[in-house]
Structure formats: structure tokens, C-alpha cells
Chains A and B, each alone.
Chain A
Amino acid sequence: MIIANTLADGFVVFLTADNGWTHDIADGAVAETDAAADAMLLTAKQAERDCVVIDPNLIPVEIVDGRPQPTEYREYIRANGPSVPTPS
């Protein structure tokens, strides 16, 4: 999957199948092949040049309970938010 932050608000987003961006990882596109991943990264880099997102990266994911989830814990936290409750 492609993970990035939007330029204007900085929040984490994922590239969708129709080359849009979503905050919900479940709506993000999962590349099944290297070629598909490369194409998605090209799309994301163009979005970066177009000042839509910053710092787009390709990350490995696995499907857990029907939802994609990053396999690396850093990206897991980036995708899901802090692992501790935020003060309220």
C-alpha cells in the first residue's frame, strides 16, 4: 500500500484504487504485484509534486480480519494512531 501525509492537514492517508486518498486504511488499494506497486508509487510521487501529499511510501501489508494492516510496527502505529489513549 501507499501511505503518506496530506500536505494541508498532515494527517495520514492511503492511496485508493481510483488514485484518490483516504484516511481509512480499509479503503486503500493493495498492490498484488511488484508492477502494480511501482505504478502506485509513481502516482503517489506525482501527487507529492502536485502538493497533495508529502512523504509517500510503499509499505508491506497483510490482511487481518478482512482489513489490510502494515506488517512493520512503525507503519502499523503510523496507520492506526498512537497505541496509547490520547488525553481528554
Chain B
Amino acid sequence: MYRYDEFDTRLVQERVEQFRRQTGRRLNGEMNEDQFLPLRLMNGVYLQLHAYMLRINVPYGAMRSRQIRQLAHIARTYDKGYGHFTTRQNMQFNWIQLKDVANAQADLAEVEMHCIQSSGNCIRNTTSDQYAGVAKDEIEDPRVYCEIIRQWSTLHPEFSYLPRKFKIAVTGSPNDRAAVALHDIGLRMHLNKNGEPGFEVLVGGGQGRTPFVAKTIRDWLPPEHLLSYLEAILRVYNLDGRRDNKWKARIKILVHQTGTKEFRRLVDTEWDKIRDSALKLPQAEIDRINAYFAPPDYESLDDAGETIAAWRADNANFDAWVRANVAEHKIPGYSIVNISLKSANQPPGDMTAAQMDAFADLADEYSFGELRVNHRQNLVLADVEQLRLRELWEKLRALDLATPNIGRVSDMIVCPGLDYCSLANARSIPIAEEINKRFSDMDRVHDIGELTINISGCMNACGHHHVGHIGILGVDKRGKEFYQFTLGGSSDQTASLGDRTGPGFPADKAVDAVETILNTYIEIRNDGECFLDTYRRAGLAPFKEALYGNP
């Protein structure tokens, strides 16, 4: 993993002290809220429904064990003993006090973490594939390019006051686990006809009240031109993006209104001016960053498939966990372990300080001291010896971290909703809890199979409802919470936006609607079809009829 150099360390420490002084000036009345707002947002501080919230960057979702231990310390010292992992691979604390923020940020700086640009109209944390570096289908490790983008975009003077926030995602694999087509810029590595790696560049994806799947503006970009091309896109957006209307200010609106062809022309015109400037990446610099992500010292192991199969035959619960939560690793004898933060006992994505500390110990013991967060609000231990899977599973069970539901009905993306968020119109967490209860029979869960349910508490779509196989959007209808459904969304390499089924359902009927949709799927599915396959074959009609009857 990347380690801070002297410049990173100094920059982060200076920013902590700068924000400490700014907070002091706000608290003693030298600044009003209008003056303070953009400063606190640039340092990750929001005011939510009940308290301030602090958002901490987890660059491309990768952490060391000592970093999550420090998050546990912050949860315990400055908050209420728990934190929340977000869809942007970050962590949020919901009860932080303004007077404590600078101290918390100083503690973060000790472990090479910060909150800079975790909010505000700037380039946010670059997100990536949680299987980076270990995926069998990977062409190159995307973390290298994420780190290069992080360094380029941090406090970039030209892009600190963009028309709106800006999110970049990178995948190094053809199977997209990072939802790159739903970002302002998505970078998808692939090989050109000469077998050389480069990036497909997608622009203008996003969700919110006007969702779009990103458009490809360049089929193949050599890595050496990554920064100059990104800079060209950002310059076009910075100049031409709307600043008069917050709801039309994202780059997706600019791309949509300009047209893909014209937008590409504008970018290429800008790019011609800078492509061979200082932004051109020397191979030596790529190699230097790449060295930080060198593989750990793997043992030379044989594949342990037969032993694992025997353990699975011996224990149905272990079998269910392996089936759902364990993925193939590129090195023989190792596995990738997904840790579900979607147990029935706490809100999706939440983790207590005690769980964080214990999980840090497991990362040290089983996965070279490293862990990852993914955009579905789960964790990953990327490098687990297969022959240690069973003992790891038993330890995870003791921490309530072994729910065998990755990619299943209860593995929902869920925004904090109106239980925490000042923007929300309806609650998300209680609907998720009810779904989790209703679908607690794991035989039924596995019979339903691969499924994503994504829940947002408002049109801002932090819960990614547009791209859930089943999307649920909470709305306020004359002072009551209602839930609208979309079907057929997807955030993978076949990205699509869901189709709205029709009128919403009151809160006490929303989970019945989920059940109706899933019963319809089971009734009409063909052998081997997952929910999305069936939806794409059969369309909306049978689901609509089941939900609303035949008009």
C-alpha cells in the first residue's frame, strides 16, 4: 500500500492546524455560518439532522489494520462508538462535535488519513475495485492509477471550486466491481488490439434526480496520458459546467446537453494543448507508485479445493458462507474473503469500535495487515490462505461478521436516510431491517440467488437505487413516507438504470412489494437465470401486473 512521503505528511498536518484555527474562529464568532460552510465542507464536516457528521477518506477503499484501529479510537473518543461505511468507500461518524473535529483529524493524520475533499465542489475520493491486485480477471492494478489521481487532484488549485462535486472511479478488470459507469469519470482498463493496456474513458455518469449511464469519449487512452486527459475533461467542465442551477451543475448534464461527440471534440481540443506537458506520466513515475502496491510475501501453496469441499460438505453454514462470501484469488492456495456488514443486528454499513478493533486483529492474522472497503458497504480481506478459511469464519461469526449474504437479497446498499440525513425525505434503514427480517431463511435467500436491492431516502440517490436490480426510493407524499420501486438497474459492466414500476407504496406495504416482485421472479424465471436476467428477458409487465393488478 501507498505510504505518505514528507510532502503528504506536511500537507495533511498543516491542513489539520489550518482547520483548527478556522473552527476556532467560527466558535468565537469571527466567522458566520455562510463563511464557514465551504471551509467545513472541504474538511468533511456536515451538519446532519441530529449532529455534525465527519466523513473520512479511505483512498480507493484500502486500509491498513492500524488505520481501522484509529477509526475505532475516533469512534470511541469523539463519537458514539460506531462508524458507517459509505458507497464511496469512506467512513462517516454521525455524532462528532465541532469542537473536537480538529483533534480527531490530528489523530487521523497520525495514521496517514484525512478528510480533505471528502465533501465540497471538488474532486472527491477516487474509488476502485475492492479486488484490486488480487482479482483473476485483472489486467493491471487500478490502485496505482487511483493513487496517481489522488496526488494530482489533492488541493489542485484549478479544480478546488468546480461547478459541483466530482467523482472518479477506476477498474483494472473487464468485470466492473466499481460501478465506473455511474461516475463523473469512469476509467476501465483493457487491452488494445496490440495487447497494450490503456483506459476506456467514460464521462457523465451519475445518479441523483437526473441519472445517466456514462458515455465513452475515448476507447483507449495510454496510461502515460491519464492526467493530461483528465485535466482536459476537468477544464472543459470547469469552464462550461453550469453554476446557475445546483441541480444542473454536474458534468452529466453538460455531457447530455452538449452531446457526446461535441463534448469529445471540446476535450480533445483542450487535450491537444497539454498532452505533452508536465502532466505526461513518465514510466518511472508509474513504476515508483506501482512499487507501493507490490504483492505481499505469498507462500507457495497448492490449491486447497478438496479440503475446502470436505469442510463445506461437513458444515452447511460454512458452505453457505463460502458460496456467497469467498471469491477466487489469482494466487493458488489463497482466497478473497468478503465480510458482510449486513447482519440483521445493525444498520447496513455500520460497524462498532469493538468490531473494528477485532477486525484489525483478523487483518493482521489472516491478510497481511490490510483490508478493503467496497462500494456496497462491505469489507474485504484480500489475501487469506484457503486452509485458514474455516478458522477465520469461526472468528468472524463470533463478531457477527459472517453473514453469508454477499450479493444476495439482504446485502443491500442503504443510505442513512431520514434517521440521520438532513436531505432525506424518508427513512431507509427501517425498510432494510424489515427486508432483512423477512428474508432471514438462508435457504430462501440462496434460492432467490444473485440480487441487489438498493435503497435511497431521497432523490439524491446516495443508496444507488437507480442501479439496484430492485431499487427503492423513499419519498414524502403529503407528510407520509412512501416508497417507489425501480427494476432492472445494474452498476456492473452492463450498467443500466432501473425502470419505475408505478405509484409508490406506504411504508407498511413496501416490503410486501419486495416479496411480490421476488415471488413473480421465482414464478417466471428460467433455469439458471438470476433476477436481472429474468427482468431483462421478461420486462416490466409481469412485475407491474403482480404489483398493481391488471387495469
Binding site for B on A (CB under 8 A): 5, 7-12, 48-51, 54-55, 72-74, 77-78, 81-84, 86-88
Contact = CB atoms under 8 A, between A and B. Distances in A.
Nearest to B97: A9
A7 B47 CA distance: 10
Interface in B33-50: 33, 47, 49-50
A43 B351 CA distance: 40
Interface residues of B, number: 35
B479 interface: yes
A82 to B, nearest CB: 4
Contacts of A50: 29
B47 A87 contact: no
**Interface residue SS majority, chain A:** loop
Contact of B26 (A5, A7, A74, A88): A7
B50 A51 contact: no
Contacts of B347: 84, 87
Contacts of B80: 86
A50 B28 CA distance: 9
16 contacts: A7-B26, A10-B47, A12-B49, A48-B33, A51-B32, A54-B33, A77-B49, A77-B418, A77-B427, A82-B50, A83-B427, A83-B430, A84-B430, A84-B433, A87-B347, A87-B350
Nearest to A5: B47
Contacts of B546: none
Given A87-B346, A87-B352, A8 B98 contact: yes
Interface string B428-444: 01100100000000000
Given A51-B26, A54-B47, A87-B351, A10 B98 contact: yes
B223 interface: no
Contacts of B479: 72-73
A86 B347 CA distance: 8
Given A9-B98, A84-B429, A86-B80, A51 B29 contact: yes
B291 to A, nearest CB: 39
Nearest to B427: A83
B51 A82 contact: no
A12 B420 CA distance: 12
B481 interface: yes
A77 B419 contact: yes
Interface in B343-369: 346-347, 350-352
Contacts of B27: 7-8, 51
Contacts of B96: 10
B49 A78 contact: yes
Contact of B82 (A10, A72, A86): A86
A9 B418 CA distance: 20
Nearest to B49: A78
Interface in B385-434: 418-420, 425, 427, 429-430, 433
A88 B96 CA distance: 16
A69 B92 CA distance: 29
B81 A81 contact: no
B99 interface: yes
A25 to B, nearest CB: 13
B54 to A, nearest CB: 10
Contacts of A78: 49-50
B115 to A, nearest CB: 16
B52 interface: yes
A69 to B, nearest CB: 14
B51 to A, nearest CB: 4
A51 B30 CA distance: 9
A5 B418 contact: no
Contacts of B26: 7, 51
Nearest to B46: A10
Contacts of B50: 10-12, 78, 81-82
Contacts of A10: 47, 50-52, 96-98
Contacts of B418: 73-74, 77
Given A51-B26, A84-B433, 10 more contacts: A10-B50, A10-B51, A10-B52, A11-B50, A74-B49, A81-B50, A83-B427, A84-B419, A87-B347, A87-B350
Contacts of B47: 5, 10, 54-55
Given A78-B50, A87-B346, A87-B351, A8 B419 contact: no
Contacts of A73: 418, 479-481
